[in-house]
A = this chain, B = another copy of it.
Amino acid sequence: MIVQLQIKVNPALYLRDPETSALGKNILKHGINMIYDIGFEEFTFKKLAQSIGTTEAGIYRYFENKHRLLTYLTTWFWTWMDYQIAFHTNNMADTKQKIHTVINLLTFHDKDAHTIEHIPKEQLHRIVVAEGVKSYLTKHITEDNKAMLFMPYKDLCHHIALLFTDYAPTYPYPHSLASTLIETAHHQIYFKDNLPRLTDYGGDKHFQNITIFLRHLVFSVLDAKL
């Protein structure tokens, strides 16, 4: 059985849907690899065009600018993550177990076997960790938000918040805790690799300790009395 998972992204994020052509898919694939390799600041459409074998103007037909491409990618990731959570927690009886699953997914604790041809997920995850916040830390956040660009992030946050409320119905800050969980997963991954003195994970090669830290954090908060 081959199931093709297609993620539909808000059309406001692109000029031409990159999923509908070979060039579009190349922009996504090479774009992810290049941002991963050289970072978002160094990344330009000219360099991307060269690596694909097309022209700068060719890429501008798909994305208004590189910031929009970044938002496309992070949005894609949030939608995908939201789906992963729905998929993996489906039919689980225990809410606590569901929350464990969410934390494992957010830290990429379990590797996902399902590969998508033109989206290198491992690299995309790293982009979201290292560059993701740049998609909303801008002066045009208000317009972007009105254009619903961050809906997938909000949905993800809301779904996690629902689990929190299910587990601890009286806890008054489920959304704040959910966004904190997501953001903390990211910066702790980044700090572990780049500013380890801001963490206590020592030489831990994987995300084991981050997972334990996050589990303890979330359940301490939800189990505590108010």
Contacts and interface: CB of A to CB of B under 8 A. Distances in A.
A83 interface: no
Contacts of A178: 198
Nearest to A131: B137
A125 to B, nearest CB: 15
Contacts of A199: 173, 175-176, 179
Given A139-B39, A176-B188, A198-B176, A224 B216 contact: yes
Contact of A195 (B41, B131, B150, B201): B150
Interface string A186-206: 011011001101111100000
B195 A141 contact: yes
A174 interface: yes
A6 interface: no
Contacts of A223: 220, 224
Contacts of A172: 200
Contacts of A177: 213, 217
Interface residues of A, number: 52
B134 A198 contact: no
A221 to B, nearest CB: 5
Contacts of A187: 133, 179-180, 183
**Max count, chain B CB within 10 A of own CB: residue among A134, A145, A180:** A180
A157 interface: yes
A173 B226 contact: no
A50 to B, nearest CB: 19
23 contacts: A39-B138, A39-B139, A131-B137, A136-B194, A136-B195, A142-B194, A145-B194, A150-B195, A157-B197, A158-B197, A173-B199, A173-B213, A173-B216, A174-B200, A176-B201, A177-B217, A178-B198, A180-B180, A180-B184, A183-B187, A216-B224, A217-B221, A221-B221
Given A173-B199, A217-B217, 15 more contacts: A39-B138, A133-B133, A145-B195, A150-B195, A153-B198, A154-B195, A154-B197, A157-B198, A172-B200, A173-B216, A176-B200, A180-B187, A180-B188, A183-B183, A183-B187
